[in-house]
Structure 1
């Protein structure tokens, strides 16, 4: 019987298994869209929670919407009547001016103090820097209402620590002084509170930016005889200009729409001395049940903020283009 030989394999032949089938174009499209599908529910929820209240407030601002319409419905459209009523009222413009003053004072103090703290953090030793950053983080993490309540206790007329300390150092006129009965004093207390709450975020953000600046730039500037202010003006600020612009914009938003602190401490008083646009809108809707007028104030607040921030963004982009 003849012997059957198995077929021999040629030297150098490729014995790898067959390649898998090529993924179809439809599968590639699904794989590329998968990350967007995963975040779609969160994006949709965020858009709904942010956009729906704004659109609803805009709709109410064009309607006759008061307590009766809130209960039975059927609000009638009245066009721009609510806006005409607001713009013709002297009280509205007084509140707008007060809001701009409030925002300017707070933002200037926040950015200035935060810059100083950030520069100090760079120069501190490791332990002191860690301790200070921990304190800043704790201040930042403190709930707004809790911090506002603490400030109420600190500035109480009879049992407050602030009056006690001022009297101990020789200011006897602060014995039993009522901070919350005087408009200017109340305004000052609120400024201290908001600045205290806002500085940690800005300071830590600026410190993170300062750590990215090469040390060689500072060494070269000092060898050329530049002082501290010259180093900041010619090196630090130009490099961190976008970050300063971003922080300023965020703080403008934060301060301009500030509501809980003002409402908890004095509900915009005394005599409206601390009433800003958000507080004014709430007071109109709550006390007068003018939900249409309150919504108009809220929409105008959004418009004012948008115009201010768009102008700041355009100026920042123009400056960046000039630098490049």
Structure 2
């Protein structure tokens, strides 16, 4: 599964990952209150045209806003709503949302109850192991969520206070799996096919969710899905297929955000495509170009034979 990543899992990336074989993909985190107000940026994050199944992740600290956001997502075609209780960002946790909710289980339960009760579609939950090493409470939150009708749990194998430092503790996810009967997904530090298999073995989880390692290679989530299903590697996409995917992603971003905002949004993806293609000397030119025609040309150049790209 492709993880929700703020500022990253735009509609174009989700379409690509799904087409390359990801079991399902999740939108960027959508702020429930802003989404309910009709905020354009959050409506774009929740957009799901061409993605099936379409999963929208919502975050907030007010039960009424979470319920209404879930209803809007369902009315707009979402097949599933995911509740964010794992985001470690300070601007989210200081608003009593994201992983802050692991410090306030009564509020977390109110939010879950309101969201599940508002829609007919499945509601899932993404969380961390706990706030810090002294308060590992993911198994408890998992049991509460299951009792309120949550259909699936995703657990990032770090605490909030770790942010993304150190190594994700896949084995600690096993305690959540033992505490519930619903499916559990392991998340955190899956950078290779070997990692995907090791995550399942260590965590006892039912599936893996891949985040940062899919940036610049949206085909990787499908590679992992195939490997876990068949225990064999499928052929890597050709350089031409990867080039075409990068170009499609870029065009999709421009279509979604418009040229000016799209150029800024695309830079993280362009840098990653250049990294994975081996075109290190093109990277700076690619992320500073202002003309979409030049970006397209440089992207094509990045996926030429490595020796040619490095010489460019």
TM-score (norm 1): 0.23
Which structure has more strand as a fraction of its residues? 2
Tell me which protein shows more helix as a share of its residues. Answer: 1
Q: Which has the higher contact order (CA 8 A, sep 6+)?
A: 1
